[in-house]
Amino acid sequence: MASMLLTSLRSSPLTSVQAAQFGKTSWVSAELKNTSPKSKKTLAKSGVKNVVLVDGVRTPFLLSGTTYADLMPHDLARAALQGLLKRTGLPKDAVDYIVYGTVIQEVKTSNVAREAALGAGFSDKTPAHTVTMACISSNQPSVQLITFPYRKMRKTMLSLNKAKTLGARLSLLGSIRLAHLSPELPAVAEFSTAETMGHSADRLAAAFGVSRLEQDEFALRSHKLAKKAQDSELLSDVISFKVPGRDIVSKDNGIRPATMEQMAKLKPAFIKPHGTVTAANSSFLTDGASAVLIMSEEKALAMGYKPKAYLRDFVYVSQDPKDQLLLGPTYATPKVLEKSGLTLNDIDVFEFHEAFAGQIMANLKAMDSDWFGQTYMGRKTKVGAPPMEKFNTWGGSLSLGHPFAATGCRLVTTVAHRLQKEGGQYGLVAACAAGGQGHAMVIEAYPQ
């Protein structure tokens, strides 16, 4: 039977002397094409079934608090599932299993996957479960909007249910104060370090000598490339969605190319007054949902599908959550390349999650540093930085948006589409995540 991997929306220190060893990373704007020659080898393994990506879709990614403001997580997840069914013509009874995920748990739907599946019309006999792994949850995969639990009141009400005497009940009711009605907001800071991710990104950029100018230039690049891809109708994974009681949405609404002069006027968002991370060079709070259909190649062909890509090797990594919180791509990339028997030069398409421009630039500098590879990764030489003409050429999270748990599926689908469009053979997805975690995956183009 076919199986579905479904995901939806909504996550030893360097010294200043050592940081001087990292020079300016140079890059150029990329064209929406790739002239790299195809490799002749394949990553198919004898005796191992090929797993293929049949297709992927997503609702438009919208700025939080806009058109999706009144929806719950399973509403958007349901829309993504229905969009995937419509696009692929997949019979609902052909699905073995549904997986969704969450970054911040919604209190009314403890299993978002199950509620979304039932809402989308899948059989109640189809199992579904929900997972979480911060910003790389959709590589598991994942979903989430935000709700605010009233934990103090909940604790009091649970105690009230257990009270055996009238006096005990009256005492508990008398203990309720206005503070009990104050919502406990989802934690923004890292639990293990009590530091926000933006603060970590600012320190990481400083450690690697990433200037404010470099960050603004990279962010502007992302917006310009996303706008060009959107105008060229390359973002074909986006489906139109009629929001109940509101308009039909059909495009991401966070793509807003500005000017360097406009971006330079913004004040630091986290480390004030001398930080370099701003609202303009950070990914913005976003709502949206995504879904992908995966199955064995044998099953896909038997059902009449033409797959888009093979999902090959993948790795998960973790490192110091304090000073290397966002360096997941640096650690994961060489591991997945080694696992697949490829080199950086074999990769035709790179899609890295852009949490912050400073985070991306720091990763590129770390990957291109012999010193960092030797000191922190136990390597003899550097990993090597991806060439920018192959890197995030249809925009990234800085411009398209980042609904925490939906981004991974967007990355995978984008790689598949870029490989088809550009004639490449291998793509690489990489992302950082809260807790100092990271992920990377190698994807191979399906023969056209």
Q: What is the spatial distance between Cα 39 and Cα 99, in angstroms, rounded to a whole number? A: 33
Comparing CA positions, the residue from 33, 119, 17 lying closest to residue 77 is: 119
Hey, is 19 helix, strand or coil? helix
Q: Taking a C-beta distance cutoff of 8 angstroms, is the pair 416, 309 a contact?
A: yes
Which of 74, 199, 432, 439 is the catalytic position?
432
Note if 409 is an active site residue. no
Q: What is the spatial distance between Cα 408 and Cα 425, in angstroms, rounded to a whole number? A: 20
198: left (phi over 0), alpha (psi -120 to 50) or beta: alpha
Note if 402 is an active site residue. yes
3-state class percentages of the chain: helix first, strand second, coil last, to nearest 5: 35, 20, 45
134: left (phi over 0), alpha (psi -120 to 50) or beta: left
Taken as a whole, the chain contains a residue count of 448
Q: What is the spatial distance between Cα 179 and Cα 375, in angstroms, rounded to a whole number? A: 49
Q: What is the spatial distance between Cα 428 and Cα 43, in angstroms, rounded to a whole number? A: 13
The token pair at 331 is 């650690």
Q: What is the spatial distance between Cα 115 and Cα 8, in angstroms, rounded to a whole number? A: 13
Question: Which phi and psi angles does 281 have, rounded to 5°?
Answer: -110, 25
326 Cβ neighbours under 8 A, 6+ residues apart:
197, 200, 201, 204, 355, 356, 359, 362, 363, 432
The residue with tokens 């249809």 is 394
Say which DSSP state 192 is in: T
Question: Which phi and psi angles does 46 have, rounded to 5°?
Answer: -60, 130
Note if 135 is an active site residue. yes
Which of 74, 135, 223, 439 is the catalytic position?
135
Comparing CA positions, the residue from 256, 298, 252 lying closest to residue 414 is: 252
The token pair at 273 is 């007054």
Which of 74, 199, 223, 402 is the catalytic position?
402
CA torsion sign, 286 to 281 to 335 to 375? negative
Say which DSSP state 380 is in: S
Q: Taking a C-beta distance cutoff of 8 angstroms, is the pair 294, 141 a contact?
A: no
Catalytic residues: 135, 402, 432
